[in-house]
Amino acid sequence: MKAAATMIAAAAPAARSAAALSSAVAQIWAWLGAVPDPEIPVISIVDLGIVRDVRVAADGACDITITPTYSGCPAMQVIADAITDALHAHGVVQVRLHNQISPAWTTDWMSEAGKAALKGYGIAPPAQQVIDISGLRAGGRAAAAAVSRRAALAPTVACPHCGSQHTEITSQFGSTPCKALYKCLDCREPFDYFKCH
Ligand SMILES: [Zn+2]
């Protein structure tokens, strides 16, 4: 840990080389890859795709840019604290967090490893692409109608327990607002579905 922290410090001031800087950034990505999502601890915040950018500034501070999974996600403060704590534990003294709202997080940013971990945890990963903001750009009432129509669609989701497609939605909101609650009609198990955004 001490050596790594020294590496970050060495990468910071005037003497830094591009190679030292990029290895410091890679090290920080690796540390963040070990920070679990507070809501779904089997997936890291990096696999979830919410860490957008990592930089080591000239003053030695780490600038971390994160994008919430949806606006107003209550877990974001917990995630911000977890990032700061993790980097402090590795000897990074100064951590600056930046929230980037746009472009909005999409489930496309979730890694394949992340989707596999979700499934192993009994949460069905996002089943399809539903992102379409063309209606939003048009603005107004038509856009709102298009969005609400889209949100009302319940996609066919395979059961994470038995793989059956014979499932039905029980509630638009599961254990967190990011998820919907489904029930498998074959194995009878309820499960969370991580909604597409
Ligand atoms: Zn099932």
Give tens-digit pLDDT for 2-44.
556 666 665 555 456 888 888 999 999 999 999 998 888 889 9
Mean pLDDT, range 154-164, rounded to an integer: 85
Mean pLDDT, range 178-182, rounded to an integer: 86
CA distance 90 to 123: 31
- CA–centroid distance, residue 47 to ligand 1 (Å): 25
* Domain co-membership, 16 together with 48: yes
Number of domains in the chain: 2
Closest CA to 107 of 130, 139, 84, 89: 130
Encode 109-140: b = buried (16+ Cβ within 10 Å), e = exposed. bbeeebbebbbeeebbbbbeeeeeeebeeeee
- CA–centroid distance, residue 164 to ligand 1 (Å): 5
Whether the CB-CB separation of 17 and 65 falls below 8 Å is answered with no
99, 131, 162 - which closes a domain: 99
* Domain co-membership, 124 together with 90: no
- CA–centroid distance, residue 75 to ligand 1 (Å): 29
* Domain co-membership, 92 together with 175: no
73, 99, 125 - which closes a domain: 99
65, 99, 133 - which closes a domain: 99
Q: How many other C-beta atoms lie within 10 A of the C-beta of residue 101?
A: 9
* Domain co-membership, 181 together with 156: yes
Q: What pairing do the DSSP bridges indicate for beta strands 123-124 and 190-194?
A: parallel
CA distance 133 to 135: 5
pLDDT category of residue 197 using cuts at 50, 70 and 90? low
Neighbours of ion ligand 1 (CB under 5 A): 159, 161-162, 164, 184, 186-187
- CATH of residue 24: 3.30.300.130
The predicted structure's pLDDT at residue 98? 94
The predicted structure's pLDDT at residue 33? 96
* Domain co-membership, 66 together with 133: no
* Domain co-membership, 153 together with 86: no
Whether the CB-CB separation of 118 and 81 falls below 8 Å is answered with no
Which residue segment(s) compose the domain that 65 sits in?
2-99
- CA–centroid distance, residue 130 to ligand 1 (Å): 24
- CA–centroid distance, residue 162 to ligand 1 (Å): 4
